[in-house]
Amino acid sequence: MKNLTEGNITEAVIKAIEGTREPRAKEVMSSLIRHLHAFVKEVQLTQDEWEAAIEYLYDTGQISGPTRNEFVLTSDTLGISSLVDIINSNPDGGTEASVLGPFYIEGSKMVEIGTNLIGDSEGEPTVVSGIVRTFGGDPIEGAVIDLWQTAANGLYENQDPDQPENNLRCRMLTDKDGYYQFTTIKPVSYKVPTDGPVGRMLDLQGRHAWRPSHLHYKVSADGHRNLITEVFYEGDEYIDEDSVFGVRESLAIPYNLITSEEEAEKYGVSSPFYRVKFDFELEAL
């Protein structure tokens, strides 16, 4: 290892990790090392550029904390998270996955089917419901619907000290028919946070930070693979240029405007309101 050159250093590093304890870890790390080295060689990375990369990572680490993960946002805005989602989606069917994003929090409050989550939130009332079932099979009782979304100002509760804890978040168990239902506000399109390294990167890349409006879900049930996905409003102006590449055709759906007073009364909302239906199909393990 004394005569390292551009031509042999990659193999020297691969050789250094040949004692890796798990074959899969060795495979993944070897591939990562080969690709990172190939990148450095391809662009003939300068010292200043290497320093800029280290500074990006350092700053991303410093701005991250329990309620913000700028590394997730970096992965999202470079399309890596979506690529991982696509690779791990079942090609045979079931609901498509989409990015987890940086705003999920474990342990949201458990609520009953039919709960109105609006509280003091501004926005257009929206009744959301659907069925959770096994892909190609029966409805699932007791599946956990874990929902999070932004308020009308485009901020998630954990980004915004002015929102109460658990605002526009909840967990809910499906009933014996696999049914879930809740009332919320129509989500709005919003910008991913631009006050950190990702914002500076997007700016350098000449890109905007907007995401089309969506309801964000983690759906889980015994004997099934967890599903993390987003359900988009198909008419959103950013539906074709999501800054984190999360949109899938099958996840973009209509919001039906209901003007019937009778229907509004049935759900305990004022008229007009939006009605959204979406069924989740989970892959059985």
Site for a second copy in 64-103 (CB under 8 A): 64, 69, 71-72, 75, 78-88
Stretch binding a second copy (CB under 8 A), from 149-157, 172-180, 199-207, 261-269: 199-207
CB of residue 44 vs a second copy: minimum separation in angstroms?
6
State yes or no: residue 169 binds a second copy (CB under 8 A).
no
Determine if 46 is a binding residue for a second copy (CB under 8 A).
yes
Q: Closest CB to a second copy among 9 and 264?
A: 9
Please count the residues of the chain. Answer: 285
> Which amino acid is located at 15 in the chain?
K
Task: Give CA–CA dist 265/262, Å, rounded.
Answer: 5
Minimal distance in Å, beta carbon 126 to a second copy? 22
User: Residue 74 Cβ, how far from a second copy at the closest point, in Å?
Assistant: 8
47 forms part of the interface with a second copy (CB under 8 A):
yes
Q: Evaluate whether 60 touches 74 at the Cβ level (below 8 Å).
A: yes
CA dist list (Å): 238 to 38, 99, 110, 209, 228:
35, 16, 32, 10, 21
31 touches a second copy by CB under 8 A? yes
Q: C-beta of 56: minimal distance to a second copy in Å?
A: 9
Nearest distance in Å: CB 113, a second copy: 28
- 122, 124, 180, 205: residue in contact with a second copy (rule CB under 8 A): 205
DSSP class per residue in 9-28:
HHHHHHHHTTT-SSHHHHHH
Q: Calculate the CA 247 to chain-centre distance.
A: 10
Question: How do beta strands 210-211 and 214-220 pair?
Answer: unpaired
> Which of 36, 164, 200, 257 lies at the binding interface for a second copy (CB under 8 A)?
36
- Contact predicate 244/82, CB 8 Å: yes
- Kindly identify the residues of this chain, within the stretch 4-23, that bind a second copy according to CB under 8 A: 4-6, 9-10, 12-13, 16-22
Q: Of all helices (H) and strands (E), which one includes residue 180? A: strand 179-185
Question: Whose Cβ is closer to a second copy: residue 28's or residue 257's?
Answer: 28
Specify whether the CB–CB gap between 111 and 170 falls below 8 A: yes
Q: Is 40 in the site for a second copy (CB under 8 A)?
A: yes
Over the window 216 to 255, marking each residue x when it contacts a second copy by CB under 8 A and - when it does not, the resulting string is -----------------------xxxx--x-xxx--x---
For a second copy, the closer CB: 172 or 202: 202
- Half-sphere exposure of 163 toward its Cβ, with a 13 Å CA cutoff? 22
Residue where the block lists tokens 């969506």: 214
